Amino acid sequence: MTRLTDLPIRTKFFGLMSLLLVAVLLATGIFTYQRQKSFIIRFAVDNARSFATQLIETREYMSSVVKGEPEQNYNLVPQVVATQVAKRVTQNSKFYVRQVSLRYRNPENRPDAYETAQLQNFIRNPTAEVYDIVRTGDTSSFRYLQPMRATISCLGCHGSYESAPDFVKKRFPPGHYSYDYKVGEVIGAVSVSIPVKDLYAELGANLKLDLLSRGIVFLIVIIVMGAIMSREIVHPVKMLSERIVQVTKTGNFEEKLPQRGHDEIGVLIGAFNDMMDELSRRTLQSREADERYRRFIEVAASAVITFLQDGKIVIANQKAESLFGRPRQALLGESIFSFLEEGDALQEKLAQQEEFKEETSRQRVRRADGTLTEVEMVVSASTTDREPMFTAILRERSRG
């Protein structure tokens, strides 16, 4: 498995950005959802309150103006009027409005469990309204209740049995619990409800649209950023590393990289080009020096051989060819020690002495034809930056 740090920058960038995208979308999604939810609850409360207020006002108005009319027309009973108004007002909405009482006259106005609890609560503490999300069975609803308190006009029909109009007396016998209210007493409540499903219907769709648009914007930003990064950083760096690999392989310092500007990457490429120039110059210089050295030893009066620590001959002049009795190809790459009678001893000496500088010794060279030639050999060491090199100057000892 590739390690995370080994992944291409572009992959890391897009991976990280995608994670960030998901996180941001999730966070804003949750935030927006919560905000819209509280917004929707506020909307529901405002609506419910407005319905309730309208109904209560309607009823109070009716209650204060009716004289004997309901006697002939039951539809003019304040409760009945308010119920009809409520129906019309909520016609085009999902809101459902009722008027309930613990001491109801009409069974249709019997409160359910939640309403009963709230009505009892209104009697105990004077509250302007209550609302909540309530679960009944497997549906949740938004519920709102606003209490109605008896005013003097209500007592005309909700006061004592004796003072009630005949049509009320007829329907509700003496002792019926819908009589004997006192002014200010909670007589009932307007109850508004709407299924949460209907209330939040818009929410889901809005949220999806919102997240989608945000996601698209963010995605575009990521892609543009990725493209800029790729163009400005990844591509030049890749080009640079490819060139370095190539230079290492071929040793060709000539080709330059195109430098686009003077930003950090531009400066890096400029520095690389300068380095290539410098390396190219130095290589040329050292080649020239090599060449000069070769030409110089070619004209030297003695045999000159340059070899490495292990004896491998790297340079040999023409005098060396004739001294060793071998063509240059037979010398180069071979160990100088194998051509000396006491080569092993010399090799050991060179290897042992760390600080070997220069030494003159007598050696006997084994020529190709098997004859031995006595020579005086001066070996001097030079250390290049890679490994120690030795130069041997061999002079044939005049026989005698």
Q: Which residues bind ligand HEC (CB under 6 A)?
A: 59-60, 63, 66, 70, 77-80, 99, 101, 104-106, 109, 148, 150-151, 153-154, 156-158, 168, 178, 187-188
Q: Which residues have a Cβ under 8 Å from the Cβ of 25 and sit 6 or more positions away?
A: 211, 214, 215, 218
| Closer CB to ligand HEC, 145 or 323, in the complex | 145
CB of 66 to ligand HEC, least distance (A): 5
CB of 190 to ligand HEC, least distance (A): 8
| Closer CB to ligand HEC, 151 or 335, in the complex | 151
**Cβ proximity of 304 and 316 under 8 Å:** yes
CB of 116 to ligand HEC, least distance (A): 13
Would you state the structure tokens that stand for residue 43, as one six-digit string? 């909307």
CB of 170 to ligand HEC, least distance (A): 10
What are φ and ψ of residue 152, in 5° steps?
Answer: -55, -40
| Closer CB to ligand HEC, 178 or 193, in the complex | 178
- Read off the amino acid at residue 295: R
Dist. CA 364–CA 339, nearest whole Å: 9
| Closer CB to ligand HEC, 106 or 280, in the complex | 106
CB of 152 to ligand HEC, least distance (A): 9
Distance of alpha carbon 130 from its chain centroid, rounded? 44
- Looking from the CA of 191 toward its CB, the CA atoms found within 13 Å total 23
| Closer CB to ligand HEC, 131 or 179, in the complex | 179
CB of 83 to ligand HEC, least distance (A): 7
* Neighbour-count burial of 161, counting CB atoms closer than 10 A to its CB (0-12 exposed, 13-18 middle, 19+ buried): middle
CB of 96 to ligand HEC, least distance (A): 16
- Looking from the CA of 182 toward its CB, the CA atoms found within 13 Å total 2
| Closer CB to ligand HEC, 33 or 61, in the complex | 61
| Closer CB to ligand HEC, 47 or 79, in the complex | 79
Task: Provide the sign of the torsion angle of the four alpha carbons 170, 171, 172, 178, taken in this order.
Answer: negative
Count how many residues are written for the chain: 400
Dist. CA 399–CA 371, nearest whole Å: 14
**Cβ proximity of 105 and 164 under 8 Å:** no
